[in-house]
Amino acid sequence: MGNLINKAVDDFTVQAYDQGRFREITREDTLGHWSVFFFYPADFTFVCPTELGDLADFYDDFKEAGCEIYSVSEDTHFVHKAWADASDTIKKIRYPMLGDPAGVLARSFGVLVEEEGQALRGTFVVNPEGKIKVYEIHDMGIGRNAQELLRKVQAAQFVEEHGDQVCPARWKPGEETLTPSLDLVGML
């Protein structure tokens, strides 16, 4: 798998379970705003609901940052609905849950484990033009942190808006950034 930074998200059309209804989501729907594609192995499992619940807890913060979340598994939109009906954690989700039973999205993002028919835990931050700006991929047993993901979205947004500045480790909005220059070389 090669580098995905600045790769445009491929065209896609999938079915989603979204707040009590089914709807179609396409690549076009993800343009014009920041997006997080949040791949996870499967519904009705163990680590997955902790991650999706964590994202649900921070959803308003992502929306305030102008970012939509799209969770994705190889389950169908019907299974997503059944999971929401069965789990209080999943029931509180207000972001679209994309069904990818054919593995089109997972394969396109390079996270599909073909022999298992499941996706690795891949997280992709995509800018309003549909280009990947941040990504990380975890093995199936390693959960992610929504608060750190939100920080990465905010840093990507800052860097895109202020191309002459960069965000140091643990940077949060409102904190000092760095302006790369010859004067900084070896001084940090």
| Catalytic residue IDs | 48
Torsion of CA 61, 42, 9, 163, to 10 degrees: 40
CA distances from 179 to 154, 165, 168, 185 (A): 17, 5, 10, 11
| Residue 121 near residue 138 (C-beta atoms within 8 A) | yes
**SS3 assignment, position 74:** coil
Q: What are phi and psi of 161, to 5 degrees?
A: -80, -35
| Residue 149 near residue 123 (C-beta atoms within 8 A) | yes
The DSSP call for residue 71 is E
Rounded to the nearest 10 degrees, the angle between the axes of helix 146-161 and helix 47-57 is 50
**Whole-angstrom distance, CA of residue 108 vs CA of residue 106:** 5
